[in-house]
Every structure is written in structure tokens, then in C-alpha cells.
Structure 1
Amino acid sequence: DTKEVGDQIRLKYRYLDLRRPSMQKNLMLRHRVTQVARNYFDEHGFLEIETPMLTKSTPEGARDYLVPSRVHPGKFYALPQSPQQYKQLLMLSGMDRYIQITRCFRDEDLRADRQPEFTQIDLEMSFVEQDDVIAVNEGFLQRVFKEVLDVDIQLPLPRMTWQDAMDKYGSDKPDVRFGFEIKDISDIAKDCSFKVFKDTVANGGTVRLINVNGYADKFPRKEIDKLGEFVKTYRAKGLAWMKLAADGSMTSSFAKFLSEDEIAAIKERAGAKENDLLFVVADANWQTAAVALGALRCELAKRLGLAKKDDFKLLWVTEFPQFEYSEEENRLVAMHHPFTAPMDEDIPLLDTDPAKVRAKAYDIILNGCELGGGSIRIHDPELQTKMFEALGFTEEKAKEQFGHLITAFSYGAPPHGGLAYGLDRLCMLLAGLDSIRDVIAFPKVQNASDLMMNCPDTVDDKQLDDLSIAVTRVEETPEA
């Protein structure tokens, strides 16, 4: 366990890698988490029910993994991205409370906390509102932390609306282990002498800042310039700064353009004092400014060692937008999925201003990572039809993709809602690790291949013939 070996070698010889005490400890932790889940939800009246692995391909956000059918040539099953529709149908079936520790599949680009196949603790409840779902899940999280890590979690957990999370932390999964909260100074900047700030606000934009309290001496000018390049990767056009030295002197990239009163107003809004460092982003789009500063605050905390892995900070983020704009598709798409219920008071906005509709959606966040997400579902067929229309589905297309669900609703559906945890991610964070690979027995690598089994791989022609599939080899040309 003391010898460092590259990931490629570890995964090629995974059966040897799993002999290491650290890896066995990780898989034991994962086992304990799943046992706590089964025991806790059983005590609270949940039934563990399996749902199919071969299902229908429907638009749910990521690409589906497709499975060709031998007995239905030219037709395909899809592996489930989640059991979303099945668990709603179970509520319509009178099952009342469902849980499943289930495999899910999404054909998307990989990263440290994402795999093509992953595991969810998936649950659904009938006759509930948001508070009921949250209460049951807070009890589960409290039990997990106590039984697995012997850590006491105080309930109820704090809650924050999506808008507040974006405004204060520049993220819908805010890390609240450290400060550096975002402050809006647009009202100060709109009449200031600095043309960049003034013009940005005049054109409907925003000017925001973070205060790196007490760490100005840790960032020489060279590092500050590098941070300016860092925020550009988040679409910010640049990074203005103001450094207050311990001796009371000040250096800044923009202060010379401001009056003393304007500087004083900015320092007061930021709560600035000696040895503080202010970073400012001005942008035409408030989300661009917020996200750039949100990423910067996390990067600074990482460099300063402020984000301790054993400092567990849980919170709920609520009231997500119902829709988000997809530049790729040039239309509004569901931020969670098409079955999420809108806030009752926002339903009229579906016809007039859908971008302002808030959802009955909630995410549970741990240390800047989304542990799980859920929502109260639509149970009224008319509202579900209206939602499909708002998402650009024709009546014919909605019936083709979701006809089974629409028909089921017509037989009467209870109000219902649920949540799904990423089990791999939960175990990764509990174990203090940086990658979900280390809590999965046989994970895939970056390009979704399995180095140990050497897959995906070619198959023989007879197998393809049985499936009515032909593989065409395309010769590479300069144009290709």
C-alpha cells in the first residue's frame, strides 16, 4: 500500500489493486453505507423494488446506451439513465414508498466523480410535500454519518434558495466550509468614475466582488495575474483587484479611476480591512460574473488549504429554475427533468414567461458536491401536458415518448416526490477521496473503457448478423 502506481496499471490489474488495505477499506465503507440505507428505509416503510435494465429510450438529458433487439430487428432498448418514470409509475400503482439501490447508465464525458455506469440510492414517496421528503432524508444522512464515521450531524440542515446560492457563492452546489462570499456592488459602480464598471451596469450588467479576508500577503502580483487568466476560463473578461497591505497602504488595478468616497463605499460593502484582497468581476451577464467568482473562491480556498475534507457541511438548495436555456438546442430545456412540478404560484408563468418559473426541486449538497437531487413531481395530466408544450414537444411527440406515463396519469395519481443519491459520490466524500474510482470495485477510465477486461471490443460477424447490424468502416480522408 506504500508503493505509488499509475492509475492505468492499477486498473489493468485491478484484482491485485483491490488487495491493498486502503481499497478494501473503501469497499467496506461502501458496504456499510448501503446497509444503513436498506435498514433505515425499511424502518420507515419503504419497499425495495427492482425496475428494468432494458427500457425505452426517452430524452432525459444525457445520451442513452442503446441495446439492439435480436427479435425486433432495427429496434433498440436503452439502458436506464435513472428509474425516474418507473418509480413514478410505482407511486401510481399504490406502492406508497419505494427504494432501490440501482445501476444507472449515461453515455457522457467522464471526470473524477462521473462514470458511464454508476449507482443511485433511489427513492420515491406518495402523498408528500417537499418538507416530508427532506425530513426523511435528513434522518438518513444523520444515520449514515453516525454509523459509518461516528460523526454527529445536527438537524434540521440549513436551506438556501437557488438564487441565494448563485448570488452568494456563484454555484448551485455551494461550498460553505469557508467565507469569501460574493457581494454585488453594481449600485456603487453605476455612477462611479471607472468607465468599465459604469458602462457595464448602464448596459444592464453587474459588478460583483469577493473579499479574500486576511490573505493579501499570500498573493503577489504574479499570482494575481494568473488568477486573472483563471477566471477567463469561466468566460469572465478580466479580473480587477484591490490589495490592502498590513501597513495600511493600498495597490489596485482600478482604484486610481475612483474617488475616495467610491473606494470607501466598495471597501465598506466588502467589509475590507488590512491584509484583505478584493477581486472584482464586471460582466453583462450576472450569471457569468457569479460563476467566475464562485469558481475563484473555491480555487483560492483550495490553494490556502481552507477546504478540510473532514469538515462536513451539508445544506439543501431549493427553488431551482424550472427551465434553463440550451444554446446547443436553441430552446428552453428542463433543468431537472420534464416531470418536476413547478411552484404553484408560478404555474400561470408557463404561458407568459416560462424562464421565471421556479420548480419544486431540491438538491442536497455536501462540501460543494451534489450528493443527490429530487423534486415533487407533476401528478396532474393537464399540467404534465402543459409542461411538455413549454418544452417544445408536439402532442404527437409527447405521446410517442411518454404516452405510457400520460395514460397512467389518467387513472388517477397521488401527489408524489422523491430523491436520488449518487452512492459512489457519497462514499467518495465520506472516505475523504478525490475520485469515485476508488470506491468502485471495477471502474472505467477516462474514455469509458475497461482496461482489465479490454472492453469495449469488436464482436464476430455472426453476432452482428443475429442483431441485423452492419458495421461500416469509413476510410479516413483529409476532409473527415
Structure 2
Amino acid sequence: MKRTKYCGEIGEEDLGREVVLCGWVHRVRNHGGVIFIDLRDREGLVQVVVEESVNPEAYNVADQLRSEYVVCVKGVVRKRPPGTENPKLKTGMYEVVGYEIEVLNTCEPLPFPVEEETPVSEELRLKYRFLDLRRESMKENILFRHRSYQIIRRTLVEKGFVEVETPFLTKSTPEGARDFLVPSRLHPGKFYALPQSPQLFKQVLMVAGIDKYFQIVKCLRDEDLRADRQPEFTQVDIEMSFVDEEDVIQISEELVSNLFKELLGIDLKRPFDRISYAEVMERYGTDKPDRRFGLELVDVSQELKETHFMVFRSVLETGGVVKGMNLKGLSLSRRELDDLTKKAQELGARGLAWIKLEKGKLVSPITKFLTEGETNALLEKMGAEEGDTIVLCADSRDVVNKVLSSLRLQIAKQYGLIDEEKWDILWVVDFPLLEWDQEEGRFVSVHHPFTAPRQEDIPKLEEALRAEDPKDKIKLVSSVKARAYDLVINGEEVGGGSVRIHDPKLQKMIFDLLNISQQEAEEKFGFLLRALRYGAPPHAGIAFGLDRLLAIMRGLDSIRDVIAFPKTQKGVCPLTGAPDYVSPKQLRELHIRPVTE
């Protein structure tokens, strides 16, 4: 028998017709003389009815079936008897009267039921991923991902983009995360690196005249893993020539809007909001803010600049800040406030001050150290009202932002303040180009060293290179803005890009500021630098983290649920057992000797 129809596609047009179905036995119910089989395949589930009086041979076969047996059924489609319809099922108005059943394969006892409602540990799910992917939600995740690929390709091809594959075995350029290295058998002692992104190659493609490039590409980074990270992940990589920021943002908004419209039926409001890096850090303490709830950060340093409360005064005198949040309508208990304080200290704060407005009175351990004027100014700035709780943090700006942004998200989740029905989408723009790394004693790129500065800021870079006083250099460079842009959805960065440097002289200037010598630059990025000297056009691009974007759209906590065969948080594949040892012969061929300590 050869399949003529998918189980989940049985409909009105099939009534009275003979069909051949192939799939897995989801459930079997024997009602004595009549056996009902829920048969499942990729497209869904349909009920098969086998009656002993009509076909004893098929009935005997059906009586031997167990969950997840693979079978082929021949039968005729009819409407279900009145009162037995299942409106929750796509095929719930119909059933197949089966008169021939062939068992194609049996199934051993399952390590866990395939039914959706059964809770299963992630380790077990990943070990038996072939069973996990049979579950309805996981199957839908994979099909959702498949449909996203088609939308992405169609959208970009219609806009004149060309899909180009870039190399997987390439050169190590350790300026970002840690590379995965591949030893060369033919060149002893030398290594390939697996690409962290196609960044350099896509810029070279612009020099080559491809003009509009895209790729749905695997990228690999040997970094510590979290729920939203994997050692191998998928990017939607885009690059364009003869464009500026607006062109990239426009095509990106169209692409994301098409995904939301076609996959979720949601019309996104365009253009998306744009907020500067300085503003999001001031208001939310992070460059990937979630604006589906309030709790914005408020700087009260000015209101407390003359305070005699030494905890605040000592911070302000050393260039720090005092910022806080008004937990509108949340009257937290002393225990809850103590828990927040402990969390703040774990995040690096010295402590957490608080003020509660209860029954027309202020309840706080710190108001006795503040003047009435300072207290009133602080409460007015915070917009405080009866029933509110205010929390305050005093430290360096970086520490305060880190602590309060983390507490802000924790409080919102803990007290149900997030509007889960809302989609918050925004661009963060005007990032710093470079920042000073105190530990390394040098500038580092906020994005990557090929990001272009704003045209009007280039004189500052030239002046910084001439500056003799390190403080002057840091001040000048820190004020330079990048032509970069990040897309944030519901507090998660899903894409980032920039206008690239296409002028070799400007690129050398950036390398000089990054303390990358000409020799080092040639060793790491020589082929790109060579390409820039041969008529490189102005170009810009962006890359989207597809796994993260799809997980957000599906409302999932982990990107592992939108990847067919992911790794665990320890970078292990329970299905295959990777990574694993290899034979001594393989190591000898690669000129490698393991070192054990």
C-alpha cells in the first residue's frame, strides 16, 4: 500500500473515498467488537474505526496494536455519527473505516509517553529527541521554523537579495568569543576556526559587487551556555551596498513584520520605536529593555547632592549616582524588601535603601538621615503616592544600572506586572563606538572593529590619536557614537548591525585606537583589509539570531525548543553522546597528543 493522504488532511472532499494512511498509533481503544485507533502523522491525527463484524482479519491486527506502532491503513472516509464529533480536532468531523491494516514496525516500551501533557525532564527529552519531536508542540515548533525560512527567503529574494554560502573552515580571528578550532591533517600545527559569524566574508562579497547578500547560516562560538545560547546557532545574515542605516532598518522591519503577519497573524505597527543607547541606559539600566511594564529608573542624584546622609554623599562625591524605582501600588513586606536587598548585594551593590508610603506616613530606615526638603524632593521626583514602595541604589552608574535593571525584571515577573499579550519592539541606536576596558587597559569595540563611527565624530578620533593625556583620549573616544543599531523584542536582543567601515584609512585609525598593530591586523584580518584597498563600496548590514527570535514568537523560555537537535547547557548532545573521545589513530593523523592534568 502507498500513502494517498496525510492523516491530518482528511476533510469534506474525501467523504466516500478510499484512502491509504501511514503513521504512528497514538491511542487504541477496544470497545468490544469495535476498535478505535487514533492515527497520527506530521499533519495531525484522525480516528480509524475497525469493526469485527465487517472485517475480522483487520480487527485481529488492530487488536495487537500498541502505542507508537508504525502502521498503514486502507479504508473509506465517512462522517462521524451524530454526537461523536470532536470539534477540537481538525479532522474531528470525520473518521476512516479501516478494512486493511499492515504493521510496518513495532515499538519498544516508551521511556516517556508522547502525549503532550506528560512532564518529562529535558535530559530525557534530548536523549530520545526522536520521540520528543513527535509531541505536538515540538512538531509545531519545527514546522514553524520551516515556514519562517520560506518567508525570509521569499521576502529577501523579492527585494533583490542573493543567497550566498560562506566557508565553514576559516581563519581564527579571536576578537570576540572563543573560537571552535579544527586541526589540519595536511598542515601539522595549523588550525581552522569554525565561523562565529560570516562578518568578514559578507563584507568581501560587497567589495566583489554582489550588492545585496543574505544567508541563513550556522555560527559557532565556544562560550558559556544559557537558556538563550547554544554553541551552534542560526543567524539570518544580511549585507547591502550603497546604503545607510535607514535602508537596513527598513528591510529589517519589513522582514520581521512579514514573519509576525504570516506566522502569528499579527500586524506590527511600523516604523518601530527608536531609543538612543544613552536613554535606555538612563531609564532602564540595560540596552535591551522590556517596556511591557513600568518601573522605570529615576536618577535622584541632583535632589540629594547636598545630603548629609553619608551612604549617599560618599557615592555622589566620587562620581557615583543614586537611582531608584517606584514600585507603584506594591506595598512590600519587610521580608520581601530584605530579599530584594540580598539580591542587590549578590549583584554587586553595597545595599538597597527603601521608603514605603503607608497610611499617610513614611516607613523607612533612611528618612531620619534626610532633611524634609530632600525627602519631599525625592518623593516628588519619583512620583510617589499612597501605597507605593520606593527602592534606591547608590553606587557607580554601571553598578546601579546593572542592579536595578535586574531587580526591575525580577519584580515584574514575581508580581505579574508584564503584559504578556503585548509585543514591545524597538531599535536601540547611537551606541558608543568604543569603550575603555579598565582591566585590559585599552579600548574595545562595543560591537566589532569594522563598525563605522558617525561622520561628524571622526575628527574626535583624529584628535584622540594626537592626545598625550590618557584622560583626554578616553574622554574624546567615549563621546564618539557608532552607526550601529540593535533590534529588541520583549527585552531580548534579536538582531544587531551597523554601517561598516569601507575606507582603509579609517579602518587603520580604529585599529590604532584598539591598540591593534599593523602586523596583528594583517595577521587577523589581512584578506578583508586587502579587499578594502580595491574599491570597496559603502555598505551596511545586520544579523538576526533566528533561534532566539522564533523562541520569542512561540512564547518559549528556551531556544532549545525551536532547534531540532540542541545541546544541553553543558554543551552536550544526549542523543549522540557528543562531544566524545576519538581513537589514538585519529589523533596521530592530526598530529595531536592529549594533555591530561
Give the shorter-chain TM-score range.
over 0.9
Counterparts of residues 282-293 of structure 1 (less than 5 Å): 282-283=394-395, 285-293=396-404
Is the Cα–Cα contact under 8 Å of residues 164 and 214 in structure 2 kept in the other structure? yes
Q: 1:339-358: per-residue Cα shift (whole Å, max 9, x none)?
A: 00011122223223323321
Q: Which amino acid aligns with 1:428?
A: A
Q: Aligned pair 1:454/2:580, yes or no?
A: no
Which secondary structure state, in structure 2, belongs to the residue aligned with residue 16 of structure 1? helix
For structure 1, which runs of at least 5 residues remain unmatched after alignment? 475-480
Deviation at 1:327, TM superposition (A): 4.8
Q: Aligned pair 1:2/2:113, yes or no?
A: no
What is the distance in 2 between the residues matched to 1:357 and 1:287?
19
What is the distance in 2 between the residues matched to 1:386 and 1:268?
48
Name the counterpart of 1:125. Answer: 240
Q: Which amino acid aligns with 1:400?
A: E
Q: Aligned pair 1:231/2:354, yes or no?
A: no
Is the Cα–Cα contact under 8 Å of residues 348 and 399 in structure 2 kept in the other structure? yes
Q: 1:378 aligns with which of 488, 497, 501?
A: 501
Which secondary structure state, in structure 2, belongs to the residue aligned with residue 464 of structure 1? helix
Name the counterpart of 1:281. Answer: 393
Q: 2:364 aligns with which of 252, 258, 282?
A: 252
Deviation at 1:73, TM superposition (A): 1.1
Q: 1:416 aligns with which of 539, 557, 577?
A: 539
Deviation at 1:328, TM superposition (A): 4.9
Query: What is the aligned-residue RMSD (CA, Å)?
Result: 1.2
What is the distance in 2 between the residues matched to 1:409 and 1:309?
47
Is the Cα–Cα contact under 8 Å of residues 129 and 565 in structure 2 kept in the other structure? yes
Write 1 or 2 for the structure with the bigger share of strand.
Answer: 2
Which secondary structure state, in structure 2, belongs to the residue aligned with residue 37 of structure 1? helix
Name the counterpart of 2:445. Answer: 334
Which segment is superposed worse, 436-445 or 30-39?
30-39
Which secondary structure state, in structure 1, belongs to the residue aligned with residue 498 of structure 2? strand
Q: 1:141 aligns with which of 235, 238, 256?
A: 256
Write 1 or 2 for the structure with the bigger share of helix.
Answer: 1
Deviation at 1:201, TM superposition (A): 1.2
Deviation at 1:323, TM superposition (A): 1.7
Q: Aligned pair 1:185/2:300, yes or no?
A: yes
Name the counterpart of 1:20. Answer: 135
Name the counterpart of 2:378. Answer: 266
What is the distance in 2 between the residues matched to 1:226 and 1:407?
56
Is the Cα–Cα contact under 8 Å of residues 205 and 286 in structure 1 kept in the other structure? yes
Q: Aligned pair 1:48/2:171, yes or no?
A: no
Is the Cα–Cα contact under 8 Å of residues 309 and 432 in structure 1 kept in the other structure? no
Is the Cα–Cα contact under 8 Å of residues 60 and 81 in structure 1 kept in the other structure? no
How many pairs align? 470
Q: 1:161 aligns with which of 276, 298, 301?
A: 276
Name the counterpart of 2:330. Answer: 215
Is the Cα–Cα contact under 8 Å of residues 293 and 419 in structure 2 kept in the other structure? no
Which secondary structure state, in structure 1, belongs to the residue aligned with residue 303 of structure 2? helix
Is the Cα–Cα contact under 8 Å of residues 310 and 432 in structure 1 kept in the other structure? no
**Structure of higher RCO (CA pairs closer than 8 Å, 6+ residues apart):** 1
Identity of aligned residues (%): 50
Is the Cα–Cα contact under 8 Å of residues 288 and 491 in structure 2 kept in the other structure? yes
What is the distance in 2 between the residues matched to 1:309 and 1:5?
25
Which segment is superposed worse, 225-234 or 93-102?
225-234
Is the Cα–Cα contact under 8 Å of residues 190 and 199 in structure 1 kept in the other structure? no
Name the counterpart of 2:412. Answer: 301
TM-score normalised per structure 1 = 0.96
Name the counterpart of 2:226. Answer: 111
Deviation at 1:193, TM superposition (A): 3.3
Is the Cα–Cα contact under 8 Å of residues 377 and 415 in structure 1 kept in the other structure? yes
Q: Aligned pair 1:71/2:186, yes or no?
A: yes
Bigger Rg, structure 1 or 2: 2
Q: Which amino acid aligns with 2:349?
A: A
What is the distance in 2 between the residues matched to 1:138 and 1:232?
40
Counterparts of residues 425-440 of structure 1 (less than 5 Å): 425-440=548-563
Is the Cα–Cα contact under 8 Å of residues 129 and 417 in structure 1 kept in the other structure? yes
Deviation at 1:215, TM superposition (A): 1.4
Q: Which amino acid aligns with 2:523?
A: E
Q: Which amino acid aligns with 1:425?
A: R
Deviation at 1:324, TM superposition (A): 2.8
Which segment is superposed worse, 129-138 or 348-357?
348-357
Deviation at 1:12, TM superposition (A): 0.8
What is the distance in 2 between the residues matched to 1:251 and 1:28?
55
Name the counterpart of 2:84. Answer: none
TM-score normalised per structure 2 = 0.77
Which segment is superposed worse, 205-214 or 323-332?
323-332
Is the Cα–Cα contact under 8 Å of residues 216 and 235 in structure 2 kept in the other structure? yes
